[in-house]
Structure 1
């Protein structure tokens, strides 16, 4: 069933066209993403859809009685109620039904009631119908539903009596989204719903929203989220809309194919036009061929000209290059603890970061990811342990708070003051590659948008030519095109990268390893984000299997209270522990052996007589690649085995 149709919708600002001839169909089961670069008009179009403004041209047709839930980017839940009371207010109608049911029950149980009367018969029918309706509307479980949704957004029983007025802006935004989900509108419109959410909450939201009964229309820069949720993509580009079936990744492929086809058709027509024009020019003045030339001229006039396809190459253009290479060991973190005052958030943390690796740090909000980066950079101290940079390592830091920018400087001065020997035209050219053109360079930093500040910070970072880049949430405030350029720049970088990010698509694109930060320290996964998820699931399965083999099955109250295992269970536990310990020891020895082999090959390659022998050098490089690959695999197996042993001992 069609819930809404946008037909030839337009928004004009005087003579300027923001968008025109926009068409969009929303069905009752739609899962739609609205994408487009910043400034294309996505939020403006959403405001038209929800009825906050009207189109300058075209029309929006809505199904009668359509209910719409809308989460804008700046939505903050304003309320004088507590968290739980505000969520409970969504179900006022169920509470009223519940009261009516109790009222009916009292009447039914009245000893003075005439059970044979028509009125009593009608009372029973009314009660049965209301009870049926109450059950159909989830009346017996709505409080559990409230708790489930609040838990999903990291609000727990201890928070339920907290007044909403005392919460932060991010918490209020999460509550606004929680309330919208509970309201179950026919059409749910979400403008950047993943802001302020950590990875665990994002995963929960994806699972929850996939089962949403109404239609969804989503604007988001979170490409992983879009891939999980949407089935149709509408792009606002070149002042109009284009529809692509499928999720975001399919949209990227289909868009590229569509653009390639458009260029083929354009070039084919241009070749045909050129051929006709040349014939007319050569033959129009010759008596013997003038009639044919006139015919070709008429043919030319009748051709419906295909407009030259527009490229989307208006995004930033930049790269990171290192002025000099670092040593093989870039960063060592040894038994570190991060936190504040005397409170440890995560420990022990250990990392041996090698050259050319790209390591993503993930973990829940508040676990100390940004704190770890700042401790590595000596901006704040570790609570225990230390971090050491390797030989010839130079560090460039992207701070998500952009505290390195001077608010009273212009964009031009912000960059030029750090590179005074560079000509102004060259500075302007560099800024132009980051989309600061014309009068943009004269803007004051404090007047810039979040995305512009992010691009300015990246400009400064690219000009430093460091060989070790540390990023704290680099994709915040960037539009999708800018994210893709950053991904390419990191992929081509000839140095090492350590970064914190909630952007799972970004992690998949650039990370060679994922470091999971937990209260118990860190675990390294030798792959991208999807690999990390798969290995965590594998670890959980290993732990469960170990628990089963350990005999960790429901026991009698006496055994549990006394903390005892049966003799047979104890024997099985010891047997399993020895088995796991032997596997960990075997893999440790293999790692040490392979590491020694690798070091030996590297020493051989560094010898002067080998360095000048290309044949020998090539042979050693192949050996080194094979040993390095095997070492990475074995290190992964050792990590899994060690964690399985820890899980077993904790079971």
Structure 2
């Protein structure tokens, strides 16, 4: 499919790639990994022809269709609706549609056989290309990526860069290319959209190359891992978890070979030193010396997993209650976030605040930090000192400071060695620490701001998307740092590996209330998959019948209780029959051309379908509860 042979690429005098080889085969699902600065994004640009190799070759079939998502697409602008932009993917279908429209106009006055034949040919090709379903397909993909029906009719230029990137991803997916090259596709995505994309890519029949720092995302999609390191590309025949295990095994073997070779070299050097002064042995010593010089040396294993090597200090521990929220309400035009919500953060809580974008996660963090107006009460406890990390905190960096000076001014209690240690963890090594803030990229500034947050004297951290712009190694460092941190924190992130390794409580906003799950993210996921989600509308029957509940107060006798439960069960079975009929009717309605070809009708019918489906699910779960209670009483 794509063959990379002896690829070298120089930036100035630095060789980003040095005679690297890699062959991408049909059906490969590849995670391209490596530390920041090792050339992952550059390699994708080399493949698509944006850059030219210094030497070597990249070859592929001329008709190979490549879908390439990169961060440059953030700046794309258009006054067209995002549905229109996504549908630009169907280039041939759109052209045929325009030609058919023109021919239909012509046929109003010209009934010639030639015009009729042309129209028939165009319509046949349009139908063969599934042209009548392209709007529905675009709508489906955009919905999966988090766009509501209303959003899809808004112009692209009214969305932020992150949301525009999702539109570009939708367009690329709809093009159905032979190979997808995806550079950090989950940046700017919330968890529901990431999970949808995982499902979509899991069924994608072409090849995929993904650059991502989200190891859970990689594990669920890829079947090969390619590491970009020291100018070479090393292939591992498995997902990211397999790569870690296999690399550890290879490193252990290499470390053993290195030690054995070093022992042999020292032995040879001792022999040479002993015999080189003796005339009878000088020739032998010279021969051994030449052999030693020609020896193919085994390199020692580099430590690719730096660890946090400084202690976290805060002068005052907080009291038991860190933050108490009471009767908190917050809304924006056309959307309610919270209404009379309550919550409490206690000392030692490590909270992950999760949910879809637009549900108020960052708003809630700002309310806790005291930077967002709201109604209600937010009260900090005794001795609570906080630090708030968010992307806009980059603006508070002092541009004329060097990186090291920025941390020295913020954390005077830490030694320069400690500060350089944490900066090294976030990829600022050697003379990098003397770079001025003003010359750094956005991602580098983000890492500096995060390093500052971790050297704080605060006993309460508020972290909004701290894993953005971090590679996998830096995410691991952040995990280690937060695991060692003895204070309290609340964080928003879409990196599930990160969340699963740092949180002991999960918060989510549902029904305009703050809900809490007391456990890890993995435990929450398992619990959330089993629970019944609130229906968008109440079931249109009496409340006690809408979702039957098991009777917990003893009845005068079991027979009366059983009769009551069986009567309720019968009513619920009747409701289920009605809901099942309604769902089937609406499924048939959604399949009708006059519905799915009309966006307004499609939106109306789809909403009805989702509502009936929720009602059916709720009734079925209620039936199961009743049946379980009946079996217990009969048992």
Report the TM range for the smaller structure's normalisation.
0.7 to 0.9
Deviations 1:236-282 (A, max 9, x none): 11121111122222222222222222111111111122223323433
Q: In structure 2, what is the Cα distance between the partners aligned to 1:304 and 1:388?
A: 66
Report the TM-score, using the length of structure 2 for normalisation.
0.76
Contact 1:347 1:522 in 2 (8 A): no
C-alpha distance 169-301 of structure 1, shift in aligned 2 (>3 A): closer
Aligned with residue 509 of structure 1, among 483, 501, 504: 501
For 1:577, the equivalent position in structure 2 comes to 549
Contact 1:29 1:214 in 2 (8 A): yes
Aligned with residue 63 of structure 1, among 61, 64, 75: 61
Q: How does 1:525-544 map to 2 (within 5 A)?
A: 525-540=517-532
The answer to whether the aligner puts 1:176 opposite 2:168 as a matched pair is: yes
Contact 2:31 2:209 in 1 (8 A): yes
Q: What is the CA distance between 1:484 and its match in structure 2?
A: 0.8
For 1:94, the equivalent position in structure 2 comes to 93
Q: Secondary structure at the match of 1:401?
A: helix
For 1:274, the equivalent position in structure 2 comes to 266
Q: What is the CA distance between 1:374 and its match in structure 2?
A: 2.0
Q: In structure 2, what is the Cα distance between the partners aligned to 1:477 and 1:234?
A: 20
Deviations 1:209-255 (A, max 9, x none): 22223211111222222122211111111121111122222222222
Q: What is the CA distance between 1:539 and its match in structure 2?
A: 0.6
C-alpha distance 134-489 of structure 1, shift in aligned 2 (>3 A): same
Q: What is the CA distance between 1:100 and its match in structure 2?
A: 8.0
Q: What is the CA distance between 1:391 and its match in structure 2?
A: 3.6
Q: In structure 1, what is the Cα distance between the partners aligned to 2:232 and 2:17?
A: 5
Aligned with residue 206 of structure 1, among 198, 201, 223: 198
Contact 2:390 2:463 in 1 (8 A): yes
Q: Secondary structure at the match of 1:141?
A: helix
Deviations 1:529-567 (A, max 9, x none): 3322221111128x89xx9xx9x7xxxxxxxxxx556xx
C-alpha distance 24-317 of structure 1, shift in aligned 2 (>3 A): farther
Q: In structure 2, what is the Cα distance between the partners aligned to 1:84 and 1:405?
A: 39
Aligned with residue 72 of structure 1, among 70, 73, 76: 70
The answer to whether the aligner puts 1:387 opposite 2:385 as a matched pair is: no
Contact 1:317 1:485 in 2 (8 A): no
Deviates most, 387-396 or 355-364: 387-396
How many correspondences in the alignment? 556
For 1:587, the equivalent position in structure 2 comes to none
Q: How does 1:560-575 map to 2 (within 5 A)?
A: none
Q: What is the CA distance between 1:432 and its match in structure 2?
A: 5.7
Q: In structure 2, what is the Cα distance between the partners aligned to 1:417 and 1:299?
A: 55
Deviates most, 22-31 or 373-382: 373-382
For 1:400, the equivalent position in structure 2 comes to 391
C-alpha distance 168-390 of structure 1, shift in aligned 2 (>3 A): closer
For 2:159, the equivalent position in structure 1 comes to 167
Q: In structure 2, what is the Cα distance between the partners aligned to 1:429 and 1:172?
A: 37
C-alpha distance 249-348 of structure 1, shift in aligned 2 (>3 A): farther
The answer to whether the aligner puts 1:323 opposite 2:315 as a matched pair is: yes
C-alpha distance 336-184 of structure 1, shift in aligned 2 (>3 A): same
Q: What is the CA distance between 1:573 and its match in structure 2?
A: 6.1
Q: In structure 2, what is the Cα distance between the partners aligned to 1:571 and 1:304?
A: 80
Once superposed, what is the RMSD of the aligned Cα atoms? 4.0
Deviations 1:284-317 (A, max 9, x none): 5568977876776576456422233333256875
For 2:603, the equivalent position in structure 1 comes to none
Report the TM-score, using the length of structure 1 for normalisation.
0.74
Deviations 1:121-162 (A, max 9, x none): x979x96x9877655533342221011012122333323443
Q: How does 1:335-346 map to 2 (within 5 A)?
A: 335-340=327-332, 344-346=336-338
Q: In structure 2, what is the Cα distance between the partners aligned to 1:101 and 1:439?
A: 64
For 2:592, the equivalent position in structure 1 comes to none
For 2:409, the equivalent position in structure 1 comes to 417
Q: In structure 2, what is the Cα distance between the partners aligned to 1:151 and 1:474?
A: 27
Q: In structure 2, what is the Cα distance between the partners aligned to 1:23 and 1:479?
A: 23
Deviates most, 86-95 or 480-489: 86-95
Q: In structure 2, what is the Cα distance between the partners aligned to 1:439 and 1:288?
A: 52
Q: In structure 1, what is the Cα distance between the partners aligned to 2:480 and 2:221?
A: 25
Q: Secondary structure at the match of 1:338?
A: strand
C-alpha distance 321-231 of structure 1, shift in aligned 2 (>3 A): farther
Q: Secondary structure at the match of 1:201?
A: helix
